[in-house]
């Protein structure tokens, strides 16, 4: 609302005034509108910045909660997958085009991640440099990874065995099929 109000009060291009009194009134109105517009915009930025910082703190808390459930290593692996989004998408797209199911997707992603192990510290650092912003809704994955590494490692409380994985794959098979059709020909 404050951003819209700031736009509303932003002075528009002036029209040519006919008399001195009209010119003075126009200039005073523009000055008051400009000050009011900047004031509202500043308050808007302050509120957005405050809300986004809260959002980033919530993201760190979510990572901590995820580490309690999946273990620290599992969450760090997930963050690395997010940082490798393009290569993961490429692997999944190729597997989907050849008719491979979720097991093939996981195998391909694991292979791509193994090939990228040596460069992941650099990718994490690059994410910190490129994605860090006071106005970002999420902290960079590199900082999230760093936070998890600095904390006491946690073991997973929930584990997924092969039989459970097969049941999940069977339950989600129609969604996998639809996603495979979508992913196969995008990008």
Predicted confidence at residue 187, as pLDDT, reads 62
Question: For the chain, which residues make up each domain, given as ranges?
Answer: 2-184
CB 157 within 8 A of CB 69: yes
Collect the ranges in the chain with pLDDT lower than 70: 14-15, 17, 187
pLDDT for position 17 = 67
Task: Locate 82 and state its tokens.
Answer: 């997010």
Q: Which tokens is 39 given?
A: 């004031």
C-alpha span between 109 and 79 (Å, rounded): 13
Half-sphere exposure of 5 (CA within 13 A, CB side): 12
pLDDT at 120: 93
């Amino acid at each position: 609302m404050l951003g819209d109000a700031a736009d509303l009060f932003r002075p528009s291009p002036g029209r040519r005034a006919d008399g001195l009194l009209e010119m003075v009134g126009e200039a005073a109105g523009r000055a008051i509108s400009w000050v009011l517009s900047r004031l509202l915009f500043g308050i808007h930025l302050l509120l957005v910045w405050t809300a986004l910082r809260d959002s980033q703190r919530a993201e760190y808390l979510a990572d901590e909660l995820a580490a309690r459930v999946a273990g620290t290593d599992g969450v760090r692996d997930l963050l690395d997958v997010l940082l490798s989004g393009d290569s993961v998408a490429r692997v999944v797209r190729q597997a989907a085009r050849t008719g491979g199911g979720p097991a093939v997707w996981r195998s391909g992603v694991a292979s791509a991640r193994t090939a990228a192990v040596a460069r992941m510290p650099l990718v994490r650092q690059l994410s910190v440099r490129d994605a860090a912003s006071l106005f970002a809704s999420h902290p960079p994955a590199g900082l999230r990874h760093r936070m998890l590494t600095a904390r006491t490692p946690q073991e997973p409380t929930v584990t997924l065995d092969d039989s459970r994985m097969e049941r999940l794959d069977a339950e989600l098979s129609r969604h996998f099929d639809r996603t495979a059709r979508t992913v196969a020909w995008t990008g």
